[in-house]
Amino acid sequence: MQSHSSCHPSAQTRRRPVADRPHWSYSQISQYLRCPLSYYFDRIAKLPKPFVSSGLILGATVHHALAEFHRGIQARKAMKLPQVKSILALTFAEMEDREPIQYRNGENRTTVLDQAVALLELYCGEAVPEEVVAVEEPLLVPLFNRDGEALRKPLLAIPDLLTREKGELTVSEFKTSGRRFSESETDSALQASCYALAVQERYDEQPRVRYTVLVKTKTPQIQRLETIRCNADLIRLAEIVQAVERAIEAKAFYPIESAMNCSTCPFFKPCKEWQGSSERSGSIIELPELEVAVC
């Protein structure tokens, strides 16, 4: 989902055995590419976050409820809508107990929960997948650069849903978003490359990648976009990860300010206090032994 970084506790527990090993994840890579300074504050300095945005909470709770819904289908014990809604409400309550939520103007707990419920109702009211192969399966796979060398750390990908449809393996990513996506966005999405690589390595089949966008318009909508990845895309992914790895080792941490990046950034205050990382400014960033945070 758009908001994918905040994981539900039970999901974190399921992921722990592989997630404890040093690895790259899409959320790490994309956070560095979006704003290297935010990556530093979050994953290296490990600054506490004073709040979590309502959009992230909505995305994480809808994600969790959908995962349970799909697990029910996989186990041939399909859940009724009220059950899915109560999972959503419970998850929301657990998350708001853990950290303060920052609501946008005009939003509050009720409006966000109502929106989440409306999205779930719409999705669960549609035809359900016939064959669920896996739900949030952690896949730890090697990354090979264009010289065929494996990067030091593998990639951990946890696709939301893997189904088989008319014999074809389909990996689905759910997004909650205030707008519809464009085809060019999904065709160039690094996340789709991460999933395609991981599923191909694990199942020895090239999957198609489907983005299911739950659009948070007044009348909720569902948009589905499909994309595929070829080997050249997967090598390009490894090259990007390698470049990010080198930039982090070189302590290249700097702000990328934009309305989209900064409006919900929990590190706004330390960012404003940041004085650069040159030796002259006396505030060079000291890195601990480079290690990789969990996704």
Residues near ligand SF4, by CB under 6 A:
35, 37-38, 255-257, 261-262, 265, 267-268, 271
Count how many residues are written for the chain: 295
Q: Nearest distance from residue 267's CB to ligand SF4, in Å? A: 5
Q: Nearest distance from residue 252's CB to ligand SF4, in Å? A: 14
Q: Which is nearer to ligand SF4, 129 or 270 (CB)?
A: 270
In Å, how far are 4, 25, 133, 192, 253 from 55, measured between CA atoms? 10, 21, 29, 21, 26
Q: Nearest distance from residue 170's CB to ligand SF4, in Å? A: 33
Q: Which is nearer to ligand SF4, 190 or 271 (CB)?
A: 271
Say how far apart CA 207 and CA 83 lie, in whole Å: 31
Which residues on adjacent β-strands are paired with residue 168?
A: 165
Q: Nearest distance from residue 2's CB to ligand SF4, in Å? A: 16
Q: Which is nearer to ligand SF4, 127 or 259 (CB)?
A: 259
Q: Nearest distance from residue 291's CB to ligand SF4, in Å? A: 21
Q: Which is nearer to ligand SF4, 38 or 193 (CB)?
A: 38
Secondary structure, 3-state, the chain: CCCCCCCCHHHHHHHHHHHCCCCEEHHHHHHHHHCHHHHHHHHHCCCCCCCEEHHHHHHHHHHHHHHHHHHHHHCCCCCCHHHHHHHHHHHHHHHHHHCCEECCCCCCHHHHHHHHHHHHHHHHCCCCCCCEEEECCCEEECCECCCCCECCCCEEECCCEEEEECCEEEEEEEEEECCCCCHHHHHHCHHHHHHHHHHHHHHCCCCEEEEEEEECCCCCEEEEEEECCCHHHHHHHHHHHHHHHHHHHCCCCCCCCCHHHHCCCCCHHHHHHCCCCCHHHCCCCCCCCCCCCCC
Q: Which is nearer to ligand SF4, 257 or 291 (CB)?
A: 257
Q: Nearest distance from residue 277's CB to ligand SF4, in Å? A: 13
Q: Which is nearer to ligand SF4, 199 or 248 (CB)?
A: 248
Q: Which is nearer to ligand SF4, 31 or 176 (CB)?
A: 31
Q: Nearest distance from residue 181's CB to ligand SF4, in Å? A: 22
